[in-house]
Each structure stands twice: as C-alpha cells, then as structure tokens.
Structure 1
Amino acid sequence: MVRALIETFPHAVEVHDGPDRKRRWRLKEMLVARMRLRGAEELEALEPGITALEAQGDQREANALSSLRDGLLAALPPTAARAAEADTDAMLEAHGVAARPGPFVQIDPGMAEAVAHALKGPWLLRFSYSGRAREVEPYGILIGARHYLVAKQTGDDAVLRHFRLDRMIDVEATQTPFARDPKFRLAAHAARAFGSYQAEEEHGEVVLWFSEQAADRAADWRFHPTQSSQHFADGRLEVRFTASGWLEMAWHLLSWGDSVEVVSPDGLRMLLADPQRNGDVLL
C-alpha cells in the first residue's frame, strides 16, 4: 500500500528512518493544493483548447492539456470538481465546441512525439518525404488546414522549407544537435503566409474590395496580421495585407461570394474568376 503511494506520488511522500529504527512516512503539502482555483472558470478555458486540438488531429498536445485539466480537478474538493465538470460540459455545448464535424488530417502520435523531441533538443530530424530520405534542422510547426514542419535541410542552401506532417514517413529524432538561427522567429515567418502554406513566388501585396453590404461584416475580420483597411465614400471597404498562399486565400474568399472583389494580385483574381474550371480551388 505504502509502496503504491510512493510510486504514484513520488514528490508528495517523505520517508524518515528514526533513531528508534522505525521507518515513518509523511505526506508533504503540495503547492498546487494551495492554488486558489475557481474550478469551472479554469476548466472552461482548457476544454475548448483540448477539443480544438483533437479536432485538428493533434492528439499529443490534446493529451498534454488533458493531463493539466485532470491535475486541476484532482486539486479541487470532490464536490467542487463534480460541479466544475458539469459546468464545463454545459459551457462547451453553449459554445458549440463539443461536437464539430468536418474533415481533418490525422497526425500519428508517435511521429508528433519525435518531432516535438527534436524541436526541444534541438536535434536533427530524419524522415522520408516524397520518396527521398531527408535530414533537417527543425524550427517549428505551422498549424492550419494542414500541418507543416518548418525546417532547413542539412547541406542545403539554408532555405527554410515546409514539409506536410501527414506525408512524413519513418520520422526519427536523432541525438545530433544543431545551432538554431538566433534571429529566427516563427510568428514572423508564419506571417508571410495567409494560412499555413507559403510560396515565395506568390508573396506580395493583396488588395480586396468588399461591397457596401458586406463592409461592416468584413471590418470585423482580421484576415492577416499585416492588414490595413479603409472605408470608401460609397460604403465599400478596402483591405490590404502582404502574404502568399493564393489557394488558401481562394478557399476563404469563395465564402464571400460576389461581396468581394480581388483588385490584386492578378494570379489570385484569375484563380477565383472561374472556380469550376480551376478545380484546385475546390480540392
């Protein structure tokens, strides 16, 4: 019984051998037990994140947040924990998060663990991609409709490349360290794209005009971190930002129908001109 307690809570049990040759065990007060938990409020903040990660197929991160949630529940008195769980379930239903149908690409948990281990090292990462063996310096993960690994191939020209996680095979984190570029910032790199896909040849200014009827609704959207906007005298709204990824832009802009006009770039405007003919937009 005591051995099971020590194995389960190794940091919470102190063992003392007294001068009378008797062994005594004492349960230490854990700092987490003195946290001023408000119960449902903390859990309400965690649950949507767990559900969203599971919906994206990111089971590794979902499991980590679930473990944190369970630790918070364990620190609450039983009656408060039961009430918190009930309140959280109701809040999830109210926010429409409990069941969100839709397709997503599932990520193998073992592969996700190997990538996470390499990123924390940082260690070189090996895998097979498009039929070729790769060895890369991993820099981060871009999460979107598809998940991409941002990395530099060893022996390459130091160009950052993107690899779709669902297409990476036989992923292995090595024990070979590498020196990360200290100037690299994942947020700045991600801002070069509209979504998670980047194409250097597409990078440039995007100008969108929204109709008078859609202007107020469009003004509530943040299309990109670099965006600026202005209202015209006739009620239309102009939105400008700098990014690449025309295909993901087209996926989103199709939902606005005739309410949006692409002023530039020409490539994006042509992609949306005939979505039935440009099948890539719909796939």
Structure 2
Amino acid sequence: MAYDKAADLLELALEIAARRLGMPYADIDRRSNAPTDSARRRNTQRMVKALEGVFGARLSTNYNDQGEKCVFLEGDKLRALLQLKPEEMTALDRAIETLRTSNAVLEAENLKELRTKIRLLAPMSRRRSLEIDYEALLSASHVVARPGPSPRIEPTTMRPLTEALLAMKQVSFDYKGSNGVHSRTVHPYGVIFGYRAYLVALLHGASGDRPSTWRIDRMANVRVLEQPSNVPPEFHIAAHAKRSFGAFQSETEYGEVEWRFNSKVAESVLSFRFHPDQQMIPETDGSVTVRFSASGHLEMAWALYPWGSHVEVVKPEALRRMVEGFQRNDFPGVP
C-alpha cells in the first residue's frame, strides 16, 4: 500500500474513533476527490473494507437515529498514535485570543481549559520539543482586534444561558430595551455570535413559533427555570442565522440581494465571504456580481460603505435607496 494511502486510512481511523456516535458514510464520501457520488461511495466502501482488515471486530457499522449508515471503531488504543503539533496548539491560542478580544470571556476560558487537557495528552518524551516549537510559533503570531462594537459578556450571564440550552429549560432575565428595563421569560433556541452576541428565543406566551433576537450584553439576573422550553424539532440555528446578513432579522426585509462590484475591485471581492450562501459570478466586463438572500439592510449598508462607488446595489430597492448618495469615490483603498 502506498504511504499516502496508509496515512489517509490512519487519519480516517482516528476520526472515526473520536466520534462516539460513529461516522456517517456520507462524511467519509466527502473526503474523496472522485468526480461522482457513486465513485465517492465506492472509495468509502474500499476504505471501510481496508479498516475491517486491520481492526477486525472492533470496527462495526450500524444506522444512527437519522437513518444514516455509520462506521464505529473502539479506539482507546489509538491514543498512542496521536501526535500533537505545535501549529495545532498555536491555532488554539489564536482562537482563545480572538474570543478574548471579542469579550467572549466564558468561551475563552472554556477553550483555555480544553487546551490544558489536550497538552496533557502529549507523551512526556515529546513535551519538551513540543513546548519549544509551540513558544516559537506563538511569539511570531498576533491577533488584531477587529474594529467594531465589543460589549463585554459576563460569564454570570452566559453560564445560565448555556445551562438552559443544554437542559432545554426556560430562562428569565431583566432586559434593558429602549423603553427601560423589563423582566422577560423565554424559550431559548440558540446563540448567535457576531459583532455582538444574541440569544435567539421565543417569548413565553407569544403567538406563533418565530423567535426574536435578544442582545446578551443587555441582559441581567439570568435565571434557569424548571419549566421545559418548547423548541420546534425542525429549528436549526445555522439555517436561522443565514436569514440575516449580520444578526438582525426582519421578515419584511428578507429577500434576494444582488450587488455588482466593478472590475477595479474584482480581485479583492472574490476573496470576501459576505454571506454563507453567496454566489460569486465573474462577469465578462471584469466586474463581479454577488447574490444571496437575507435581511438586515442597515448592516448591509455598513458593509458596503468601505467599497465606496465601486459597488452598485442592484437589489433590493430599499437598500439601493439607503446607500444612494453615500458612495464615495475618494477612498485610497478598499477592504
């Protein structure tokens, strides 16, 4: 067997062993570069067959609760094959620092504890050289704080929200809105992190099942209640978040968005991720068209301002009117 194929099999075995609920065949399919679905599935079947030859009865297949065929591997003895890399540890530190600069204090502390546990997995004989390379890489990198609001989220606020989400319980809190401070009881659906952190939740007693967003930095006295929360089984926080450009959502604003950037900034635009479901379309004249569907016109206007007169809003009309007259042509550079 070629060395690269052996390395691929070992990497796959480690990933399967790390998943308590098994690894779906579909996930293994996505590791393949084969041109068709059927070819990718044949590659998956060959790799699973090869792993069966190595691990025998410790490797098994079954179906999960979603009806997906999965591979399972009892992997305690595979720990000896794990080798921590200094660049992996440095990436963790950068993630911790990024969370700190965003004032996500609790998440930074959780990741710091995880880093300590991971470092303990390194064999004693390897720790000295790992630490030397790790410190060298760490001293050569720095996280720059992104401009914008960075309100502090207190751990005393975030911890009960996390507890309620895990236990599927309702929460109550005091919320500072434009009309003063009011007590609220909600069914928490999830949390969205961006410039600010928002709780997605349905107000208790509200009609319908469409949740609202609540700024977490405006909450105080957060309490987990004994009453269970009612979260629709079809709700997915990632799909919900895609309906907004940032975090704000509006059913009246939601719709198709189309921007056209001229050829002078096309190269820069092609490296940008404006929205998870965006379509980037290079035009014959050198310009680039960006399309997606979302709400949040004000946040879109903020994102478009640095591009000045290099961008034209094709749709929606409301956003086109909002930016009209504010597109400067004298910026010395583009994002």
Q: Same fold (TM over 0.5)?
A: yes
Q: Corresponding residue for 2:201?
A: 151
C-alpha distance in structure 2 between counterparts of 1:122 and 1:207, whole Å: 39
Q: Corresponding residue for 1:260?
A: 311
CA apart distance, 1:86: 4.5
C-alpha distance in structure 2 between counterparts of 1:188 and 1:33, whole Å: 35
Q: 5+ residue gaps in structure 1?
A: 1-29, 277-283
Match of 2:237 among 178, 182, 186: 186
Match of 2:213 among 159, 162, 183: 162
Kindly tell me: are residues 263 and 86 of structure 1, through their superposed partners in 2, closer, same or farther at Cα, counting changes over 3 Å? Answer: farther
Counterparts of residues 48-197 of structure 1 (less than 5 Å)? 48-77=94-123, 80-92=126-138, 94-97=140-143, 99-100=144-145, 102=147, 103-129=149-175, 130=177, 131-157=181-207, 158-197=209-248
C-alpha distance in structure 2 between counterparts of 1:274 and 1:121, whole Å: 50
Q: TM-score, normalised by structure 2?
A: 0.67
What letter corresponds to residue 272 of structure 2 in structure 1? W
**3-state DSSP of counterpart to 2:227:** strand
C-alpha distance in structure 1 between counterparts of 2:217 and 2:231, whole Å: 24
Query: Which deviates more, 165-174 or 87-96?
Result: 87-96
CA apart distance, 1:114: 0.8
C-alpha distance in structure 1 between counterparts of 2:101 and 2:317, whole Å: 35
C-alpha distance in structure 2 between counterparts of 1:126 and 1:58, whole Å: 21
**3-state DSSP of counterpart to 1:207:** strand
CA apart distance, 1:160: 0.6
CA apart distance, 1:52: 1.4
Q: Verify the 8 A CA contact 2:188 2:229 in the aligned structure 1.
A: no
Q: What is the CA deviation profile of residues 152-205 of structure 1, one whole-angstrom value per residue up to 9, with x for unaligned ones?
A: 011101221000001112111112212321100111100001112212221111
Q: 5+ residue gaps in structure 2?
A: 1-75, 328-335
What letter corresponds to residue 235 of structure 1 in structure 2? G
C-alpha distance in structure 2 between counterparts of 1:203 and 1:230, whole Å: 21
CA apart distance, 1:32: 9.8
CA apart distance, 1:128: 1.4
Q: What is the CA deviation profile of residues 4-38 of structure 1, one whole-angstrom value per residue up to 9, with x for unaligned ones?
A: xxxxxxxxxxxxxxxxxxxxxxxxxx989746232
Kindly tell me: are residues 73 and 230 of structure 1, through their superposed partners in 2, closer, same or farther at Cα, counting changes over 3 Å? Answer: closer
Q: Verify the 8 A CA contact 1:47 1:88 in the aligned structure 2.
A: no
Query: Which deviates more, 188-197 or 41-50?
Result: 41-50
Q: Verify the 8 A CA contact 2:106 2:154 in the aligned structure 1.
A: no
CA apart distance, 1:100: 3.0
**3-state DSSP of counterpart to 2:152:** coil
Q: Corresponding residue for 1:13?
A: none
Match of 1:45 among 74, 80, 91: 91
1:214 has 2:265 as partner:
yes
**3-state DSSP of counterpart to 1:175:** strand
Q: Verify the 8 A CA contact 1:32 1:75 in the aligned structure 2.
A: no
C-alpha distance in structure 1 between counterparts of 2:265 and 2:244, whole Å: 24
Q: Verify the 8 A CA contact 2:188 2:199 in the aligned structure 1.
A: yes
**3-state DSSP of counterpart to 1:267:** helix
Kindly tell me: are residues 229 and 101 of structure 1, through their superposed partners in 2, closer, same or farther at Cα, counting changes over 3 Å? Answer: closer
Query: Which deviates more, 256-265 or 34-43?
Result: 34-43
Q: TM-score, normalised by structure 1?
A: 0.79
**3-state DSSP of counterpart to 1:201:** coil
What letter corresponds to residue 163 of structure 2 in structure 1? H
**Which has the higher relative contact order, 1 or 2, with Cα contacts under 8 A spaced 6 or more apart?**
1
C-alpha distance in structure 2 between counterparts of 1:85 and 1:110, whole Å: 34
Size of the aligned set, in residue pairs, is 246
